[in-house]
Chains A and B, each alone.
Chain A
């Protein structure tokens, strides 16, 4: 468990290198999400996006990226919303230990 000081006011991890799968579970619990295999697939995808583009995705690029990497079935906002209700790009990035997306609606 990381202390509260490791997170910013909105609950995003301050230091990327503090992230572990255990930290992801801790953040997810705060969002009332229990992480399934499908969640982990997306968390890994978000971290891959961050490594590739040095930024957290907004919703539109996240949907497209999912479609490209995981297949058209999963490249839909409804699928992302089912896993991370409300704001998938924002909540997904938070659990994946990434900074808050800049252009988050």
Chain B
């Protein structure tokens, strides 16, 4: 995967959606990079995969719905979205029902993914 637009950024997302502001912060970085035409990929690991749970409803909590924000990532041309397959399996997550299309990776594939990016940002 070449990067004519700039260095390739991989944002590693490892926090559940509503435990802290970190989940939101990681998505904001990805959206900002995409808005500036920087190639950006996302990798959900550990508890971060919980952001991909379908049917999030934040009306009672009164915070922004991260599931719905995730659904807009393809409109930002963020289409390289990867998931820690073991974590998804650990939580019995139905990735087919996730807010956006993802690719599940095993441990070796995640290591390879990291090698193909120039910059890593972890949240």
Contacts and interface: CB of A to CB of B under 8 A. Distances in A.
B is bound to A: yes
Contact of A54 (B31, B32, B36, B69): B69
Interface in B36-83: 36, 58, 64-65, 68-69, 71-72, 75-77
A34 B11 CA distance: 42
B72 A53 contact: yes
Nearest to B70: A53
Given A60-B76, A60-B77, A53 B31 contact: no
A55 B34 CA distance: 16
A18 B77 CA distance: 33
Interface footprint category on A: 10 to 19
Contacts of B114: none
B68 A58 contact: no
Contacts of A40: none
A64 B75 contact: yes
Interface of A: 49, 52-55, 57-61, 64-65, 102-103, 105
B75 A57 contact: yes
Q: Which of B65, B71, B72 has the most CB of A within 10 A?
A: B72
Contacts of A53: 68-69, 71-72, 75
Interface of B: 28, 31-32, 34-36, 58, 64-65, 68-69, 71-72, 75-77
Q: Which of A49, A53, A57, A58 has the most CB of B within 10 A?
A: A53
A72 to B, nearest CB: 15
A58 B76 contact: yes
Contacts of A65: 75
Contacts of B34: 60, 103
A54 B68 CA distance: 6
A57 B75 CA distance: 9
21 contacts: A49-B72, A52-B68, A52-B71, A53-B69, A53-B71, A55-B64, A55-B68, A55-B72, A58-B31, A58-B35, A60-B35, A60-B75, A60-B77, A61-B72, A61-B75, A61-B76, A65-B75, A102-B32, A103-B32, A103-B34, A105-B36
